[in-house]
């Protein structure tokens, strides 16, 4: 069978070079010094600050904001890095509107929280610009630890352990470190190769030896790692995606591409004008990834972008702010709408058939109202899943012991798995939410737990 011809409507070079540059520049540009002072002055320096409680890594937010307002941005950065070594990424990618800024008492008082995320960026950018390294390694312990996966969780864990004087071998399947910060986060949130600059900053503490293109389950194996190292931390994230499972989505119709895949291509593209995008895009899903792919498609020059979400708008996982971002970018949100099947011409998608849904007795049901949307690209963004194969193929005999019913690795509050010497954290575990900041916290806590367990000689 002939492979289907890519329709003409899928084109690169839709925009001028300046428009591409503008569309993918910083979503929130760095605050100027004046803006930072004005904003920092708004902080009340609350007692047991609610913002700090709301931060998964418990950054001492009032303290760092006070340091900014007393013209001590490096001290502010140190305060941030003390709790969150990826404070630079988190400042850019955290859904602050559901975390610290939602809790800010100024939100309560006037509906206008202190811009904590942007102040955090102000401080951490100052530190990176000054090549400020606030941490020194403790005396070498001679202990070697393997970390698999160099996303936020792996990097945070590596830094925490390196700081304690341990030696780390950091294994990564891809050729660049950073995990989804490098391959997944929306381009306009982390501009200017930020992920790689942050990786450099983290590694500059020393003691972390990086081994790229090392795939767990292919090149390295859990059993052997557990044998060779004092401890192992697995932070491989989510390798798979949920399948759309509608008629035609099994590969019979082309033009369907998983959102995470497409974003990775976008993130790695050196020149966005060479990245083809369709004219009419349909995105399926209601989370952060759905919004990200929708907005980025629009900014690549797609003419219409529609998000289909089968439940009501209130139930979308994307925050109110993100929904707004989609809408101000001209993305159409169609909630209570489920995809049913794909139409195609010469093997390429031309439209998606949908049905409207409604809530009945707490259950989502299909209504009689059906319609079709013209499209030449469909991006399912309906969730990622953990692929146990990596741990399985490596012969971790007792897979059922370490993976729980949610299909992810089971850990305790210290991120220990059921196997001795094996810790895991980040998206690949069933504990916590799938956010960068939660992955950092996991890596940080795991590092503490590994360190204290090694110090006790256990």
Ligand X SMILES: Cc1cc2nc3c(=O)[nH]c(=O)nc-3n(C[C@H](O)[C@H](O)[C@H](O)COP(=O)(O)OP(=O)(O)OC[C@H]3O[C@@H](n4cnc5c(N)ncnc54)[C@H](O)[C@@H]3O)c2cc1C
* Contacting residues toward ligand X, per CB under 6 A: 93-94, 148-154, 171-174, 179-180, 184-185, 189, 215-217, 235-237, 239, 260, 263, 288-289, 292, 390, 426-428, 434-437, 439
Among ligand SF4, another protein, ligand X, none, residue 260 binds (CB under 5-8 Å by kind): ligand X
Is residue 105 a contact partner of residue 44, using CB atoms and an 8 Å limit?
Answer: yes
Nearer to ligand X, 7 or 154 (CB): 154
Rounded Cα distance between 445 and 269, Å, is 34
Neighbours of 32 (CB within 10 A): 10
To the nearest 5 percent, what fractions of the chain are helix, strand and coil?
Answer: 40, 20, 45
Q: How far is the CB of 40 from another protein (least distance, A)?
A: 12
Among 164, 150, 165, 144, which Cα is nearest to 232's?
144
Nearest to 377 by CA among 258, 246, 207: 258
CB of 94 to ligand X, least distance (A): 5
Q: Which of 54, 78, 159, 283 binds another protein (CB under 8 A)?
A: 78
| The only residue of 6, 30, 46, 338 in contact with ligand SF4, by rule CB under 6 A | 46
27 binds another protein (CB under 8 A): no
Q: Using the rule CB under 6 A, is 116 a contact of ligand SF4?
A: yes
For another protein, which is the closer residue by CB, 127 or 390?
127
d(CA 368, CA 376): 25
* Cα gap 36→38, rounded to integer Å: 6
Taking the complex as a whole, how short is the minimal distance between the CB of residue 102 and ligand SF4, in angstroms?
10
Nearer to ligand X (CB atom), residue 217 or residue 301: 217
Give the Cα separation of 64 and 321 in Å (integer). Answer: 25
293 binds ligand SF4 (CB under 6 A): no
Q: Which does 47 bind (CB under 5 to 8 A by kind): ligand X, ligand SF4, another protein, none?
A: another protein
Residues 35-64: x/- map of binding to another protein (CB under 8 A)?
Answer: --x---xx--x-x------------x-xx-
Of 7, 40, 57, 62, the one binding ligand SF4 by CB under 6 A: 62
**Residue 72 interacting partner from ligand SF4, another protein, ligand X, none (CB closer than 5 to 8 Å by kind):** another protein
Q: Give the full edge-to-edge strand order of the sheet including 377-380.
A: 332-334, 304-308, 280-284, 377-380
Q: What would the two tokens of residue 316 be?
A: 């979308």
Residue 338 β-bridge partners: 355
Q: Which of residues 75-114 bind ligand SF4 (CB under 6 A)?
A: 104-106, 114
SS (H, E, C) 327-347: HHCCCEEECCEEEEEEEEECC
Q: By the 8 A CB rule, do 412 and 420 touch?
A: no
Binding partner of 388, given another protein, ligand SF4, ligand X, none, CB within 5-8 angstroms per partner class: none
CA atoms 12, 13, 18, 19: torsion sign:
negative
Q: Which does 179 bind (CB under 5 to 8 A by kind): ligand SF4, another protein, ligand X, none?
A: ligand X
Nearest 10 degrees: CA dihedral of 418, 419, 423, 429? -40
Q: Which of 6, 15, 27, 74 touches another protein by CB under 8 A?
A: 74
Instruction: Give Cβ neighbours of residue 243 (< 8 Å, ≥ 6 apart).
Output: 249
Look at residue 185 and give the partner it binds from ligand X, another protein, ligand SF4, none, a contact being a CB closer than 5 to 8 Å depending on partner kind.
Answer: ligand X
Binding residues for another protein, rule: CB under 8 A, are: 33-34, 37, 41-42, 45, 47, 60, 62-63, 66-67, 70-72, 74-75, 78-79
């Amino acid at each position: 069978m002939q492979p289907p011809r890519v329709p003409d409507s899928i084109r690169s070079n839709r925009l001028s070079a300046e428009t591409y540059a503008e569309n993918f520049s910083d979503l929130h540009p760095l605050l100027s010094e004046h803006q930072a002072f004005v904003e920092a002055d708004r902080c009340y320096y609350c007692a047991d600050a609610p913002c700090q409680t709301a931060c998964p890594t418990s950054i001492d937010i009032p303290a760092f904001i006070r340091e900014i307002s007393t013209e001590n941005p490096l001290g502010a950065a140190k305060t941030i890095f003390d709790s969150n070594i990826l404070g630079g990424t988190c400042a850019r990618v955290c859904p602050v509107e559901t975390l610290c800024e939602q809790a800010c008492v100024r939100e309560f008082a006037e509906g206008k929280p202190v811009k904590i995320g942007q102040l955090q960026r102000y401080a951490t950018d100052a530190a990176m610009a000054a090549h400020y390294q606030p941490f020194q390694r403790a005396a070498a312990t001679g202990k070697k630890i393997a970390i698999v996966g160099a996303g936020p969780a792996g990097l945070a864990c590596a830094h925490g352990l390196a700081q304690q004087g341990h030696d780390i071998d950091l294994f990564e399947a891809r050729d660049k470190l950073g995990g989804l910060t490098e391959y997944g986060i929306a381009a306009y949130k982390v501009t200017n190769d930020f992920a790689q600059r942050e990786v450099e900053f983290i590694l500059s503490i020393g003691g972390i030896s990086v081994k790229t293109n090392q795939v767990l389950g292919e090149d390295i194996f859990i059993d052997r790692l557990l044998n060779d190292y004092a401890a192992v931390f697995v932070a491989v994230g989510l390798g798979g995606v949920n399948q759309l499972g509608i008629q035609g989505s099994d590969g019979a119709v082309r033009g369907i591409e998983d959102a995470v895949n497409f974003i990775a291509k976008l993130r790695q593209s050196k020149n966005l004008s060479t990245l083809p995008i369709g004219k009419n895009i349909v995105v399926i899903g209601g989370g952060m990834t759905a919004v990200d792919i929708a907005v980025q498609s629009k900014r690549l020059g797609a003419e219409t972008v529609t998000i289909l979400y089968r439940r009501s708008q209130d139930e979308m996982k994307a925050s109110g702010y993100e929904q707004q971002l989609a809408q101000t970018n001209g993305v159409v949100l169609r909630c209570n709408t489920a995809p049913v099947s794909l139409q195609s011409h010469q093997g390429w998608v031309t439209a998606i058939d949908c049905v409207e849904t409604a809530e009945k007795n707490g259950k989502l049901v299909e209504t009689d109202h059906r319609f079709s949307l013209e499209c030449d690209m469909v991006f399912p963004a309906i969730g990622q899943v953990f692929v146990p194969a990596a741990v399985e193929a490596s012969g971790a005999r007792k897979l059922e012991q370490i993976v729980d019913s949610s299909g992810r690795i089971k850990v305790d509050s210290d991120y220990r798995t059921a196997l001795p010497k094996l810790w895991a954290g980040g998206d690949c575990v069933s504990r916590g939410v799938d956010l960068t900041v939660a992955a950092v916290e996991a890596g940080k806590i795991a590092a503490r737990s590994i360190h204290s367990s090694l110090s006790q000689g256990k």
